[in-house]
Structure 1
Amino acid sequence: MLLVEQFCSTEQPADEQLVLPFERRQKSRLRTKLATGEEVGLFLPRGTILRGGDRLQGSDGRVVLVVAAPEPSLLVTAASERELARAAYHLGNRHVPLQVGDGWLRLGADYVLRDMLDGLGVQVREEAAPFEPEAGAYGGHAHRHGDEEGHSGIIHEFS
């Protein structure tokens, strides 16, 4: 089994891929499999959140690219910025993990939340997409790896 205990530069070419949904990318201790089927054990600092594009250093020197797996989600758009902000407010009030993009929101698929959003008059579309929710304002300090401008979504939380 390949052991992974640290990050490496996003500049390094990847030898392997680790494809995981967000729920599993939040675990700092995890036994899972690479895309090739090889077993891997993650032993990262507690509180680490893996993001798509992160690169990890294997104990044997291999570089493992983290890939955010497509997962069932809801894409929310609205006719106006106000309507979208209102939807974000109501989702935030329920502490829903939320990915924020230019003119859209993404959240995990949930029929109760979909009904609420429909009631708010926003457009909701079911999709399978990589889910990269906001890290949160109170989750500890954030630490960025690699290219800040080209890959600003790579944030790791440490408690």
Structure 2
Amino acid sequence: MLTFNKIQQFSSEAVINFTLNLCAEERTRSRHRFATEEGEIVCLRLPRGTVLQDSDILVDDTKKYLAKIIAKPEEVLTVYAEQNIDLIRAAYHLGNRHVPLEITTNYLRLSPDPVLRKMLETLNLKIKKETVPFQPQKGAYEHQLRHAH
């Protein structure tokens, strides 16, 4: 079984052998078995705390094979507001609950949760249920984790 143990810098000359379509939660698993789009079972053995991002390139332990990570579309709630301050308030409340959150200047995005949806509705925010790739904000210490090993 192929084992991918390192993230490689993107290179336009790189020949991608496999594609891994993973949801946001799956991209937080540093040690796990997955099936590639090509039907191959592969194992991840990445440094603990690694969070994979869309378009990351993984290299196997023999350095012969590359796998590209694709953020798989999943159900999410996308939150919009008339004014940016309302999005900032929502991000504050969601952050207090340690909710994985995709943050942009125009919207917030989170996994569906009826309790959180109700809270956001009481803040007079517009909420849209969608199926799109979910890319939560990296943790404040993620940079240190990725380069510490």
Per-residue deviation, 1:131 = 1.3
Asked if 2 retains the 8 angstrom alpha-carbon contact of 1:47 and 1:158, the reply is no
2:59 is aligned, of 57, 60, 68, to 57
- What TM-score results when the alignment is normalised by the length of structure 2? 0.89
Asked if 1 retains the 8 angstrom alpha-carbon contact of 2:80 and 2:127, the reply is yes
**CA–CA separation in structure 2 for the residues paired with 1:124 and 1:157:** 37
How large is the Cα RMSD of the aligned pairs?
1.8
SS in 2 for 1:84: helix
Q: In the alignment, which residue of structure 2 is the partner of 1:44?
A: 46
Select the structure that is richer in helix.
Answer: 2
Select the structure that is richer in strand.
Answer: 1
Q: In the alignment, which residue of structure 1 is the partner of 2:129?
A: 126
- What TM-score results when the alignment is normalised by the length of structure 1? 0.84
**CA–CA separation in structure 1 for the residues paired with 2:77 and 2:51:** 21
Deviating above 3 A after TM superposition, structure 1's stretches of 4 or more consecutive aligned residues are 156-159
Q: In the alignment, which residue of structure 1 is the partner of 2:25?
A: 23
Written as runs of structure 1 = structure 2, the 5 A alignment for 1:69-108 is 69-108=72-111
Asked if 1 retains the 8 angstrom alpha-carbon contact of 2:84 and 2:105, the reply is no
**CA–CA separation in structure 2 for the residues paired with 1:158 and 1:118:** 41
In the alignment, structure 1 residue 116 sits paired with structure 2 residue 119:
yes
Assess, with a 3 A threshold, how the Cα gap between structure 1 residues 139 and 15 changes in structure 2: closer, same or farther. closer
Asked if 2 retains the 8 angstrom alpha-carbon contact of 1:47 and 1:157, the reply is no
Per-residue deviation, 1:59 = 3.9
Structure 1 unpaired stretches of 5+ = 143-155
Please, which moves more after superposition, 69-78 or 5-14?
Answer: 5-14
**CA–CA separation in structure 2 for the residues paired with 1:7 and 1:74:** 30
